[in-house]
Amino acid sequence: MKQRADIHIIGVVQGVGFRPFVYGLAKELNLVGYVLNLGNAGVQLVVEGRRGDIEGLIAEVKSRAPAVSRIDGINVEWSDATGEFNEFRIERSVDVRKETSGLDMPPDIAMCEDCVADLLRSGSRWHLYPFTSCSICGPRFSTITSLPYDRPNTTMTDFPLCNTCNTEYNNPTDRRYYAQTIACPECGPIYRLLDPLGRLVEDSEPIATAAKLVENGKIGAFQGISGTHLVTMTSKPTAIQELRERKRRLRRPFAIMVRDLETLRNQFLVSSQEIDLLTSWRRPIVLVKKRKGSKESDKDSSRITREIPAESLELISPGLDTVGVMLPYSGLHHLLFHYMDEPGLVMTSANPTGLPMYVNPEVIISELKGIADLFLVHNRRIEQRADDSVIKLLLNGPIFIRRARGYVPEPIIVNGLSREAKLIAVGPEERATGAVLSRGKVYQTQHIGDTNRAENIDFLWDALSHLMNILAVTRLDAVACDLHPEFLSSEFARNLAAERKVPVLPVQHHHAHLAALLADSGLPADTTIACITIDGFGYALGGESWGGDVLVGNAVEATRAGGLKRQAYSGGDLSATYSARALLGILGDSFDVSEISHLIGKAQIAPGVVATGSNLSMLSEMRQRRVNVLYSTSAGRFLDAVSAALGLCFENSYDGECPMQLEAVARETGLRINKEHSLEKSVVLDSTEAIREILRLRRQGVPTEEVAYAAQWYLGESLATIACMVSMERGIGSVGVSGGVAVNRIVTQAISTTVEKEGLKLLVHRNVPPGDGGISVGQIVVSASNLNQ
């Protein structure tokens, strides 16, 4: 007897390609009925046939769904067959946003292997056409204007399908069936090549010409899926140096794109986990270790015509032991390598650090004249710009440095929040994201940047408005922001709250870190944990500055239970730039001017000011008189001070440069810095004693690499010891770590080892950035939890 199954597949967040997949299964199993996209409610299947065949379909859906699909649950209702169907079909989408939960808005997806084959195969209809895509790949988030995800609700509505594409679009057996971004040379977007002044270059093969120019050492501005990269060759160091000088980016690392896995393995030390990330459909940038010399087995490979020289790698990431690497993810990328022999290309965001990516061709040209030698731009609108995501492997798992393309707008499901509450959060001031709460899920925006400038506030609001529109959020219960009253984002939040006549809810920076970790770990918002919050700066009640602390609490409230000793740093924010100031601040009144002068030489302590004996004495006097002094428990400043004490780095020309160089130079050792004598009253870590010990080790001639490792281990182990002590006293079972310093492999390994030794559970970030990019999630969780009180 035939049966009917009404199947609701929940949360098919990357549902593109899912309905054609189900269609194929149903046809194979001789089932009839239909599959229907419910907008942001998932997918509905109604099938009739033999029960065993229907159960087989369900099993196949669970085990073989396209990699870009995410299934949160499957609900099935059985009944007798009605006989109303004589075939299986795909129904047009419906929009049920206002009545349901979930979000069917997929991230941008890397070009699949079948489309790459179409792109490169002579005779193919899509031969050398960069905008090739199908039902399981191509741009998504960057093109969507509204839900449901159908072509009229994307920027591809500007390109009506030709007859041939339309036939494929409507053929259920075709790989491009109902693929919203498909196009061909007859009906789709095109690239144009422009000269240094932005004038059109008449060229029938603009990408091929651009590739050859870059291979000859030129710098190109190439518009991509969701932004614009500055691109140059890696085989000649002079090209990279020229890019640094033109972009005025003297030391901040560049990302690179390598040709293929063979090149990747030849040039870098990569683990299987890193390869899985790099080859996934998300295609993030992954920080991988530099290899000292090429693999001998690959040196004679006929496919590798050039290598990235060691000098180039040093220019790509000066003073670091890692490089941010990605693999091609768009048609343009595959074609660039098709036309050239380069092993890799520098691909750095064309926009200045902290500002929104350039997505409009006119803006690209006007802003990059004098930097780019050529422009390659297209005529497909970018609805939402997004940087490349950046990931680092820590403690046997991925951790986000930046969460954007390929991951946004996937939600974070938070246990214990009201499904009715509607909130937005505007994040902190630096490396910000925004977030929207809808039906108990937190939807983060893409990486926004630094919101201390008006254009980034505009970008933040545009990204938040887009999410609110997609989620059908028409009312707000509150607006969350950082506790710091002078942040431009806090002012924006206050104005928005007043306009909407809702409360503004300031959230302390490190409490937000703790709450973001709760959400990331899947724990209920009312779970109490001890959280090690380690970063550079966070405004606290009373105007204090935290940054190396152990907090105890949950999403409703948290208190500081211990951490680094509060130190006085002269020069205010200058101490975050010049590491010698951090060193002097931690040493306090006990440092010997002549010894420090000898150690740090002519290091800068302010723009154009070097550390002479008289200048150091002046800083000491200012500190004693409390003139322009910042008090802070910052772990970032401690690592800066260690870097200065070891003579490694004296200026953070970009955020975290000195700590990153300290991590890079460190070599694993059994050397340990005694933490017992620097733990005051058990819960306060006296960093002055630690710095004195580090200076003593340096005087004794202990290798810098070993002292660097021991100092970072000391920081992690000591803070973890405090957290474990507090946890056991209060009956807390979990210790977490969050904040920007939580991406340091040595600090986090020390924390992990110490926590596990004490038999407690360690919580680390996996889905939300531990740095300031995750603050908006924490702001949402704290605010929503307090609204419930």
Give per-residue pLDDT as tens, 39-58: 656 788 999 999 999 999 99
How far CA 391 is from CA of 326, 404, 665, in Å, comes to 10, 11, 20
Q: For residues 617-638, give the mean pLDDT.
A: 85
pTM metric for this prediction: 0.92
Q: For residues 81-105, give the mean pLDDT.
A: 69
Helix (H, G, I), strand (E, B) or coil at 157: helix
Burial class (CB in 10 A: 0-12, 13-18, 19+), 699: exposed
Per-chain mean pLDDT for the chain: 91
Distance of CA 268 to the CA centre of its chain: 21
Looking at residue 293, its pLDDT comes to 60
Cα(107)–Cα(735) distance, rounded to whole angstroms? Answer: 32
Burial class (CB in 10 A: 0-12, 13-18, 19+), 76: middle
Q: For residues 701-729, give the mean pLDDT.
A: 97
Cα(207)–Cα(119) distance, rounded to whole angstroms? Answer: 13
Looking at residue 328, its pLDDT comes to 98
Looking at residue 306, its pLDDT comes to 76
Burial class (CB in 10 A: 0-12, 13-18, 19+), 197: exposed
> 438 pairs with which residues across the strands?
441
Q: Return the amino acid letter for 700.
A: Q
Looking at residue 20, its pLDDT comes to 80
Give per-residue pLDDT as tens, 213-260: 999 999 999 999 999 999 999 999 999 999 999 999 999 999 999 999
Q: For residues 474-502, give the mean pLDDT.
A: 97
Instruction: Kindly state the helix (H) or strand (E) to which residue 552 belongs, with its residue range.
Output: strand 545-553
Structure tokens at 180: 């919203």
Looking at residue 298, its pLDDT comes to 46
What's the angle, vertex CA 242, arms to CA 237 and CA 243, rounded to 5?
100
Q: 265, 233 in Cβ contact below 8 A?
A: no
Looking at residue 677, its pLDDT comes to 62
Q: How confident is the model at residue 13 (pLDDT cuts 50, 70, 90)?
A: very low
Among residues of the chain, what percentage have pLDDT more than 70?
A: 95
Q: For residues 82-108, give the mean pLDDT.
A: 70
Helix (H, G, I), strand (E, B) or coil at 710: helix
Q: For residues 380-399, give the mean pLDDT.
A: 97
> 551 pairs with which residues across the strands?
531, 560
Instruction: Kindly state the helix (H) or strand (E) to which residue 751 belongs, with its residue range.
Output: helix 745-757
Q: For residues 284-302, give the mean pLDDT.
A: 70
From 4, 37, 385, 431, the catalytic residue: 37
- The answer on pLDDT for 532 being more than 60 is yes
Backbone angles phi, psi at 340, to 5 degrees: -140, 165
Residues, the chain, total?
Answer: 789
Contacts (Cβ under 8 Å, ≥6 apart) of 436: 423, 424, 442, 443, 464, 467, 468, 471, 473, 780
- The answer on pLDDT for 672 being more than 70 is yes
Helix (H, G, I), strand (E, B) or coil at 680: strand
Cα(632)–Cα(588) distance, rounded to whole angstroms? Answer: 13
Burial class (CB in 10 A: 0-12, 13-18, 19+), 766: middle
- The answer on pLDDT for 304 being more than 50 is no
From 4, 19, 385, 403, the catalytic residue: 19
Give per-residue pLDDT as tens, 503-517: 999 999 999 999 999
Contacts (Cβ under 8 Å, ≥6 apart) of 406: 107, 108, 109, 110, 281, 282, 283, 284, 389
**The most confident of 118-122, 566-570, 587-591, 682-686, by mean pLDDT:** 118-122
Looking at residue 97, its pLDDT comes to 44
Helix (H, G, I), strand (E, B) or coil at 347: strand
Give per-residue pLDDT as tens, 143-171: 999 877 789 999 999 999 999 999 999 98
Q: SS3 sequence, 564-580?
A: ECCEEEECCCHHHHEHH
How far CA 477 is from CA of 107, 146, 787, in Å, comes to 28, 23, 9
Cα(217)–Cα(83) distance, rounded to whole angstroms? Answer: 68
Q: 88, 23 in Cβ contact below 8 A?
A: yes
Reply yes or no on whether 37 is catalytic.
yes
Q: How confident is the model at residue 549 (pLDDT cuts 50, 70, 90)?
A: very high
- The answer on pLDDT for 24 being more than 90 is no
Looking at residue 539, its pLDDT comes to 92
Q: How confident is the model at residue 295 (pLDDT cuts 50, 70, 90)?
A: low
Q: How confident is the model at residue 11 (pLDDT cuts 50, 70, 90)?
A: low
Looking at residue 172, its pLDDT comes to 82
Radius of gyration of the chain (CA): 28
Instruction: Give the sign of the dihedral formed by CA 304, CA 309, CA 312, CA 317.
Output: positive
Q: For residues 310-333, give the mean pLDDT.
A: 97
Instruction: Kindly state the helix (H) or strand (E) to which residue 290 belongs, with its residue range.
Output: strand 285-290
DSSP assignment string, 223-258? E-SSSEEEEEESS-HHHHHHHHHHHT-SSSPPEEEE
